[in-house]
Structure 1
C-alpha cells in the first residue's frame, strides 16, 4: 500500500538535499530554494512538473513502478534509497546487481561533469544506460534500443548498421571479443541469466556467432586503441578508460584522444557540430 505522506516527505527531503551542481545543472542566479526546484527534478525524471508536484502534495493516482524508477534515477538515489522509495510508493523494489538498470549516484556524478567528453554508462552486456551529449555525438543515441537490441553485442551479429562505425579490418577481432565476453558472463551468471538468454537468441540467428561460440574462447584482448569511423569527421583513434561500479556491474566508459593529435582535433570539431545540431 502506498504511504502518501511518507513518499511526499522523502521526495521533498531528497530534493532539498541536492544542489544543481550535484546533478549537472547550472546554478543560475537568485535561487530561493535550498535545493533543486520541482521543475528541475521533473525534467531530470522525464515527467511533467505537475505530475511530480502532485506526488509531493500527496495527490493523484499511485505512481507506477516505471515512474518511481525514473524518480529514483533523477534524484541520484543510492540503491538503499531507491528500494525505500519503491516501498513507500507501494511497489516491490527491483532486483539489484548486474540485471539492474539503476545507475549508482557515484557514476552519475562523474558522468554529469563530463559534458564536453564522450562518455557512457553501460551494463556488462553492453546496454547503454546513460550518455553525455558528446557520447551521443560520437556513437549516436544508443539508449533508444529496446529488448535484446539494447546490447551492442546482440546488434553486432544481427544488425549490419552496428558495424558501420568500426573499420572493416577490426570486425573479426570485435566479433571474437563480443562472443568471448558473452561466454564469460554466461559462466559467471549461470544458465538462467540474461546473458544466457542472449546467447540462446543469437545462436539460431548468426552463423558467425555460432562458429565463434563453439571455440569456447574467453580470452580475447581488446585493441590498445578504439578505432571508429564517424560519418561526419572520419577516422578516429581513441583511448577508452573504464570505471567499474562493482555493486551493479555497470561500467563508465570515457573516450579521449591524445592532445594535439588528428583525432583530438576531430573530437573538438565533433563538439562544435554537436552544439550546432
Structure 2
C-alpha cells in the first residue's frame, strides 16, 4: 500500500471538486478550494477521523467497500477509480453500471425476523426490492407486486389511498437520493426512464430537481391515515447497505402508544 501517494491523490481529488457540483451548500466561507474532509466522509458514509487519517498517510489499508465509497464520493472516473485501488494495494472490482436490484439473503432474513416492525429495502432509485408482511399491510397499494417505486408513488400517485403528513418532506428526500443515483449510475437505462417519467408527470418533481436538495438518511416521523387501522404516528429509521447502495427502512411506533397497538393488530392479520 502506497500511503503517501494515496493520501496525496485523495487530497488532490477532494480539492478539485466544487460543493455546488454535488448539491452541497456553499454559503459559509471556505479557507481552501474544494470539499471539506467531513463532507467527503459524509458522502462516503465513513467516519471523519478515518478519512483524515487516510489523507495524512497514517490510516489502515481501506477495504474495497470503503474504496468504492470514496470513488463515488469523489466522483472518480473509471480510470481514477482503478488508480485509487492500485494505490491501496487492492484489485478493483468492476464498477456497478446501475442500481443493484437484488437483495442479499442475510438482509432478506432480517426482514422476516421483525414481525412487529414494518421493513422494506429500497435500491438507489427508490425501487422497493424487499419487504415483510407488516410493511405490505401497512403501505398497501402495489407493494406486494414487486413493482413499487416510492418516488413514483410520491409524485405520480398509487399510494394505496393513505393520507401522509410527511409527504412534503419525503419529496425532498426522494429527489436528493435520485440525484445521487443519477450521478453514480449515468448509464442505468431504468433509472433514466424513471426520471423522464417523473419529469413528464410531475411539475413538483421538476421544481424540486432544480433546487438540488441534499439529505442524509436517518430518523424521521410521519403520520398516515390507514384505511383499516386509522391514524398512525410512525417512526422511520434507515439502515444502510453500502455495498449495494441500498437502504433498509424500519417502520415502528412509540412503545405503549395507540399506534403501537394498531401495528400489532396489523401484524397479527398480516
The verdict on a shared fold, with TM-score over 0.5 as the criterion, is yes
Q: Which one of the candidate residues 248, 252, 267 is aligned to 1:252?
A: 248
Structure 1 position 193, deviation (Å)? 5.6
Q: Which one of the candidate residues 142, 167, 171 is aligned to 1:171?
A: 167
Partner Cα separation in structure 1 for residue 96 and residue 144 of structure 2: 20
* SS of residue matched to 1:225: strand
RMSD: 2.8
Could you tell me which residue of structure 1 aligns to residue 145 of structure 2?
144
- 5+ unaligned residues in a row in structure 1: which ranges? 1-94
* SS of residue matched to 1:204: helix
Q: Deviations over 1:79-116 (max 9, x none)?
A: xxxxxxxxxxxxxxxx9685332211221221221234
- 5+ unaligned residues in a row in structure 2: which ranges? 1-94
Could you tell me which residue of structure 2 aligns to residue 115 of structure 1?
115
Partner Cα separation in structure 1 for residue 167 and residue 236 of structure 2: 18
Structure 1 position 213, deviation (Å)? 1.6
* SS of residue matched to 2:121: strand
The answer to whether the Cα contact below 8 Å between 1:184 and 1:218 also exists between their aligned partners in 2 is no
Inter-CA distance 164–179: structure 2 relative to 1 (3 Å threshold): farther
1:200 equivalent to 2:196? Answer yes
Partner Cα separation in structure 1 for residue 114 and residue 250 of structure 2: 9
Structure 1 position 181, deviation (Å)? 2.2
Partner Cα separation in structure 1 for residue 187 and residue 117 of structure 2: 38
Structure 1 position 231, deviation (Å)? 0.8
Structure 1 position 177, deviation (Å)? 2.4
Could you tell me which residue of structure 2 aligns to residue 153 of structure 1?
151
* SS of residue matched to 1:208: helix
Could you tell me which residue of structure 2 aligns to residue 211 of structure 1?
207
Could you tell me which residue of structure 1 aligns to residue 50 of structure 2?
none
The answer to whether the Cα contact below 8 Å between 1:134 and 1:271 also exists between their aligned partners in 2 is yes
- Answer with 96-105 or 110-119: which moved more: 96-105
1:188 equivalent to 2:146? Answer no
The answer to whether the Cα contact below 8 Å between 2:99 and 2:185 also exists between their aligned partners in 1 is no
Partner Cα separation in structure 2 for residue 162 and residue 136 of structure 1: 12
TM-score between both structures, scaled by the size of structure 2: 0.56
Inter-CA distance 116–264: structure 2 relative to 1 (3 Å threshold): closer
The answer to whether the Cα contact below 8 Å between 2:175 and 2:205 also exists between their aligned partners in 1 is yes
- Answer with 193-202 or 180-189: which moved more: 193-202
The answer to whether the Cα contact below 8 Å between 1:100 and 1:248 also exists between their aligned partners in 2 is yes
Q: Deviations over 1:34-92 (max 9, x none)?
A: xxxxxxxxxxxxxxxxxxxxxxxxxxxxxxxxxxxxxxxxxxxxxxxxxxxxxxxxxxx
